[in-house]
Structure 1
Amino acid sequence: MEKKRLGNSDMDITRIGLGAWAIGGSWRWGWGHQDEKDSIRTIHKALDSGINWIDTAPAYGLGTSEKVIGKALKERNDKPYIFTKCGILWDNKGKAWQEISRKTILKEIDESLTRLGVDVIDLYQIHWPNPDKNIEEAWETLAEIKEQGKVRYIGVSNFSVEQLKRAEKIAPITSLQPPYSILRRDIEKEILPHCQEKNIGVIVYSPMASGLLTGKVTEEWVASLPDDDWRKQADDFRQPRLARNLALVEILRDIAKKHNSTIAETAIAWTLKHPAVTAAIVGMRRPDQVDGVTGAPGVQLDNEDLERIETFIKQNP
């Protein structure tokens, strides 16, 4: 599978990586119940397909995602790059909140190493810049953890350009993780150009818009979602936005047929076309989902394809 160097690191990562949000199972921002055996089989199949990195976070399932990844990797000799995060905490009742500070991060890093069953994490990221006033303290702490050898590289997620510049004064940023898809393009104006200029790798999340751009979503499908799946109440999955989004999917369906790809691969390929984007995080929770996304880096969208998408977006803002 095609690879690209991640920012200022020595890591050549595949253009898509395994996103481990959904395998966290049921929690405040989860997608409902998840079978652990399915998760482990999915991880193995993704690695067998050539994917060489996994992105997770302690908060995904309140520790569950990292633990499952740790179990899955014990069964393999080949080890992928592991990317995880800090900055979302929870209590014993399952209530979660965003918080970054030196004290919390020093505790989180050791807990993540234990759950993952590794001695060093390849990329450690600030999950959310909250509270904003603690960004400098948090980034200084990540730089210290890197010096200690607990992590190889440090990055951020969901940062603005102004917040990136504040962190850059303290220590180099290896990567940024922002949301990016055909339906969410706000990073194109300032964030992607800044990352390109500063050699900050960009690994985008939600390239399929949380499943909307896969071709599997219908109004009936949304209605059938479990109550603990946050998408059931999300505006993009409800009318009138849902009808507009499904109309876009039909355009992607035509383009996918042209390139002998899946709708999901076409949506992912659209994000990978931007020169500032290093790779995309692709959520997978069952082994069969792997087959429908691994061809994304090979889909070469042409000007006609891109113009069709642009025209639709302009006509249906």
Structure 2
Amino acid sequence: MTASEAAAVGRTSLGGDLEVSVLGLGCMGMAEFYGDTDDQESIRTIHQALDLGVNFIDTAYMYGGGRSEEIVGKALATVPRENVVLATKCGLLRTEDGVRIDGRPEHIRQAIDESLARLGTDHVDLYYLHRVDPEVPVEESIGAMSELVTAGKVRFLGISEAGPDSLRAAHATHRMTALQSEYSLGTRAPEFGALPVCRELGIGFVAWGPLSRGLLTGTITGVQDFQGIDIRRILPRFAEDNLAHNLAIVARVTEVAEELGCTTAQLALAWLINQGIVPIPGPKVREHLEENVGAASVELSDETMKRLDEILPPNAFLGDRFHGPMMDTVDR
């Protein structure tokens, strides 16, 4: 797809509040987690995404301890601000020992100013609570975030990886425009928890990890494919026995994709788009971005959706989606 074909990337609404492209651009991998990175190629990829009609850019302090936000800020410095729907997050911190959750109001008030400085803007369009802090009532965290809306630093609020009860409590405190959680053909837990609540309350759903950390691209053959420091080396889903099982399932998804004349990744993304979910895949290079954007033009019949459900029903993939410590932070 070329820039002249950007109109093919349609628009959808998050919670009736924000008009965004039907798929966005996740910028986590531009900072770390998936091997080597290249800041200049990341910036070119962000610019290419905008040229192709992808206006929804997602980042967070957590990604590289601010590095992802800095990359996004550099990329957007030459772009009209009104052309971008910019999302970032607070409440998940990097420490010498790893990661710490902090949903305290005083942290949230400080975090937004630091994020805005890195992003080079005076506001973000969507501000998420990255994780629910078990030590702080979610109403207190969201209450502090609502002050940022009043101050004009944030337009709309969201929450990430929240369980149904926390999502309801957050929404009762201040309207939630979106929930962002991992969701894909290989990770379907939201269907039995937060997603029905989103449907009930009119909250948009943004799917991170829509390609199951690369599994649903059909290009991974084993851990030997991972270069540099790559988090997948420690994730249960990529352990040797689990990975062999999971790749055998992906091969069946690839067969369906080939019948439709698209790639495995495009099929996996189209499966989400077809349900009104906004996926935010995280390509680090323009080639992969262009492939992902092609999913916007893949049409899926009810029969194909049923076939995919039969190939990859809930819990078909073996292995948890996170290692132990991080699994404890999700679906709270």
**TM-score when normalising by structure 2:** 0.87
Shift in Å at residue 172 of structure 1?
Answer: 1.2
Cα gap change, 1:172/1:77 in structure 2, threshold over 3 Å: closer, same or farther?
closer
Distance 1:43 1:73 in 2: 8
Partner in structure 1 of residue 256 of structure 2: 255
How do residues 192-203 of structure 1 correspond to structure 2 at under 5 angstroms?
192-203=195-206
Partner in structure 1 of residue 182 of structure 2: 179
Partner in structure 1 of residue 127 of structure 2: 124
Q: 1:101 aligns with which of 95, 100, 104?
A: 104
Letter in 1 for 2:233: K
Partner in structure 1 of residue 290 of structure 2: 291
Q: Which consecutive residues of structure 1, in runs of 5 or more, have no partner in the other structure? A: none
Q: Is the 8 A contact 1:99 1:131 kept in 2?
A: no
Q: 1:87 aligns with which of 91, 114, 139?
A: 91
**TM-score when normalising by structure 1:** 0.91
Structure 1 segments of 4+ aligned residues over 6 angstroms from their partners:
none
Shift in Å at residue 315 of structure 1?
Answer: 11
Which stretch has the larger CA shift, 57-66 or 288-297?
288-297
Distance 2:14 2:314 in 1: 35
Partner in structure 1 of residue 238 of structure 2: 237
Distance 1:130 1:313 in 2: 32
Q: Is the 8 A contact 1:251 1:309 kept in 2?
A: no
Cα gap change, 1:315/1:210 in structure 2, threshold over 3 Å: closer, same or farther?
closer
Does the alignment pair 1:56 with 2:64? no
Distance 1:18 1:263 in 2: 18
Letter in 2 for 1:293: N
SS in structure 1 opposite 2:293? coil
Q: Is the 8 A contact 2:188 2:315 kept in 1?
A: no
Does the alignment pair 1:145 with 2:156? no
Tell me the matched-pair count: 307
Partner in structure 2 of residue 6 of structure 1: 14
Shift in Å at residue 314 of structure 1?
Answer: 5.2
Q: How large is the RMSD of aligned CA atoms in angstroms?
A: 1.8
Distance 1:282 1:207 in 2: 6
Q: Is the 8 A contact 1:62 1:94 kept in 2?
A: no
Q: Is the 8 A contact 2:26 2:280 kept in 1?
A: yes
Which stretch has the larger CA shift, 251-260 or 202-211?
251-260
Distance 2:193 2:99 in 1: 31
SS in structure 2 opposite 1:16? coil
Partner in structure 2 of residue 282 of structure 1: 281
Q: 2:27 aligns with which of 16, 20, 45?
A: 20
Q: Which consecutive residues of structure 2, in runs of 5 or more, have no partner in the other structure? A: 1-8, 317-332
Q: Is the 8 A contact 1:262 1:293 kept in 2?
A: no
Shift in Å at residue 316 of structure 1?
Answer: 8.3
Does the alignment pair 1:302 with 2:301? yes
Cα gap change, 1:315/1:202 in structure 2, threshold over 3 Å: closer, same or farther?
closer
